[in-house]
């Protein structure tokens, strides 16, 4: 049973008995009962001499540890000092009305919370804590788990969050394999697929999707990293001998589109001149969206032409110029490729070109 004040071994009333010597006035220390005299308030002290209660004018009680008589006692007088404990209600928080703890709170057993818990700073748990509601942590604060207690049971489905020097792991059950592993280095492994319900998967520059886990073909594989995808438009330009003096285009007849996957670019071009201009020399189309590779990966293009003048050879074709953003135009004649020039074109010559090249 709990008590307010001194426990029952001392009681709330303490008596100190002294046997006086000749003319003794001050009485302190341990009395016959063995308890040392002390008091907090002189209003809660009674003094008796030979059984007669003295008035406050007959003694002084200000030191808290001694009673001083105004007139010295006779030899063998019995002086009794009775002290009543001074106490106040303990500094507590009401069970029914609640309140605020200004200091730290330590629970040696299980702390059970049936409502929400709002933490203004860092919440550290070194034992077991059962929370039926929510734990709300402000920004830049932390939920800390003590050593040996690095498991959070989220709900009855037993989804766990594991922490430690090895990183964080999310599991679906006790001792199950992790479905999401986050290492200290920041690598994330997802066991059973990743679904984005909104937003994009953003890959840092120089990185991509690694297919190295797949079986290799019978050829000589150089890379299994899909590190680029891009689609867009560009503006192709016709030149003769590298110049474009006086060349104009029919309305909406100068545009190009491309798709880049890894190091392969696929393009389509629509060009029709309104005037072929005065520049002379070989026909070229410039302005490809990416510079071609240095090695000669020749991929023939598909071409449709209209309104051409005299042609000395067969059907024209375009070829990507290595280390450049240029298409060179050729025609095949007697098993020999020859260039198409300004003279082979009219003012309304046009081209539909589609092809691929490596970068």
CA atoms within 13 A on the CB side of 7: 3
Regarding whether 122 and 75 lie in a shared domain, the answer is no
End-to-end Cα spacing for the chain = 87
Q: How many domains does the chain have?
A: 3
- What lies within 8 Å, CB to CB, of 90 at 6+ separation is 4
Q: Is residue 327 part of a domain?
A: yes
Distance separating alpha carbons of residues 20 and 27, to the nearest angstrom: 8
Distance separating alpha carbons of residues 190 and 188, to the nearest angstrom: 7
Regarding whether 41 and 135 lie in a shared domain, the answer is no
| Residue 65 Rama label (left phi>0; alpha psi -120 to 50; beta) | alpha
Between residues 110 and 59, the one the model is more confident about: 59
288, 233 contact by CB (below 8 A): no
Regarding whether 288 and 170 lie in a shared domain, the answer is no
Span 305-319, pLDDT tens digits: 888 887 766 678 898
Q: Is residue 106 part of a domain?
A: no
Q: Is residue 136 part of a domain?
A: yes
Tokens representing 224 are 């299994």
Regarding whether 348 and 291 lie in a shared domain, the answer is yes
Question: Given a cut of 80, is residue 65 above it in pLDDT?
Answer: yes
Q: Is residue 253 part of a domain?
A: yes
Span 116-158, pLDDT tens digits: 777 776 666 666 677 777 776 666 556 666 555 555 555 555 5
Regarding whether 236 and 350 lie in a shared domain, the answer is yes
Span 276-300, pLDDT tens digits: 999 999 999 999 999 999 976 667 7
Q: Give the Å distances, CA to CA, from 6 to 30, 67, 286.
A: 18, 22, 100
Between residues 2 and 211, the one the model is more confident about: 211
Regarding whether 242 and 331 lie in a shared domain, the answer is yes
Mean pLDDT of 176-189: 77
Q: Which of 89-103, 140-154, 247-261 has the lowest mean pLDDT?
A: 140-154
Tokens representing 277 are 């201009």
Q: What's this model's pTM, rounded to 2 decimal places? A: 0.56
Regarding whether 336 and 269 lie in a shared domain, the answer is yes
Regarding whether 140 and 22 lie in a shared domain, the answer is no
Q: What is the pLDDT of residue 182?
A: 78
Regarding whether 173 and 269 lie in a shared domain, the answer is no
The length of the chain is 359
Tokens representing 332 are 């095949």
Q: Is residue 251 part of a domain?
A: yes
- What lies within 8 Å, CB to CB, of 52 at 6+ separation is none
pLDDT band at 1 (very low <50, low <70, confident <90, very high): very low
Question: Given a cut of 70, is residue 57 above it in pLDDT?
Answer: yes
Regarding whether 324 and 273 lie in a shared domain, the answer is yes
Mean pLDDT of 44-64: 92
Q: Which domain holds residue 257?
A: 231-358
Distance separating alpha carbons of residues 59 and 77, to the nearest angstrom: 15
Mean pLDDT rounded to a whole number for the chain? 83
Q: Is residue 103 part of a domain?
A: no
Span 262-272, pLDDT tens digits: 999 999 999 99
Regarding whether 117 and 66 lie in a shared domain, the answer is no
Q: What is the pLDDT of residue 160?
A: 58
Regarding whether 236 and 182 lie in a shared domain, the answer is no
Q: Is residue 208 part of a domain?
A: no
CA atoms within 13 A on the CB side of 246: 9
DSSP-assigned letters across all residues of 166-197: T-EEEESSTTPPPSEEE-TT--EEESS----S
Q: Is residue 211 part of a domain?
A: no
Q: Which of 164, 190, 216 is the last residue of a domain?
A: 190
């Amino acid at each position: 049973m709990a008590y307010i004040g001194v426990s029952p071994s001392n009681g709330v009333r303490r008596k100190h008995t002294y046997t006086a010597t000749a003319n003794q006035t001050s009485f302190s220390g341990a009395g016959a009962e063995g308890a040392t005299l002390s008091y907090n308030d002189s209003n809660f002290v009674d003094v008796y001499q030979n059984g007669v209660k003295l008035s406050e004018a007959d003694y002084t009680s200000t030191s808290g540890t001694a009673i001083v008589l105004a007139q010295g006692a006779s030899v063998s007088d019995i002086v009794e000092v009775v002290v009543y404990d001074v106490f106040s209600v303990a500094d507590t928080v009401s069970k029914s009305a609640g309140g605020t703890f200004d200091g730290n709170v330590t629970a040696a057993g299980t702390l059970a919370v049936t409502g929400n818990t709002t933490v203004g700073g860092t919440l550290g748990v070194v034992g077991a804590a059962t929370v039926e509601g929510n734990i709300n942590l402000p920004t830049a604060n932390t939920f800390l788990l003590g050593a040996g207690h690095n498991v959070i049971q989220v709900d009855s489905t037993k989804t766990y969050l594991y922490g430690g020097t090895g990183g964080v792991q999310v599991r679906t059950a006790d001792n199950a394999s992790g479905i999401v592993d986050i290492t200290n280095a920041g690598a994330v492994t997802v066991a059973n697929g990743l679904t984005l319900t909104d937003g994009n998967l953003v890959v840092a520059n120089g990185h991509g999707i690694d297919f190295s886990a797949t079986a290799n073909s019978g050829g000589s594989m150089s890379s299994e990293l899909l590190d680029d995808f891009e689609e867009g438009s560009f503006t192709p330009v016709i030149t003769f001998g590298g110049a474009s003096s006086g060349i104009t285009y029919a309305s909406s007849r100068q545009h190009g589109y491309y798709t880049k996957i890894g190091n392969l670019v696929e393009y389509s071009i629509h060009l029709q001149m309104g005037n072929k201009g005065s520049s002379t020399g070989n026909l070229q189309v410039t302005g490809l969206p990416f510079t071609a590779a240095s090695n000669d990966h020749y991929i023939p293009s598909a071409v449709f032409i209209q309104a051409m003048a005299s042609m000395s050879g067969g059907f024209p074709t375009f070829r990507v110029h290595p280390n450049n953003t240029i298409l060179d135009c050729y025609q095949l004649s007697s098993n020999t490729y020859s260039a198409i020039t300004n003279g082979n074109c009219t003012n309304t010559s046009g081209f539909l070109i589609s092809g691929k090249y490596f970068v």
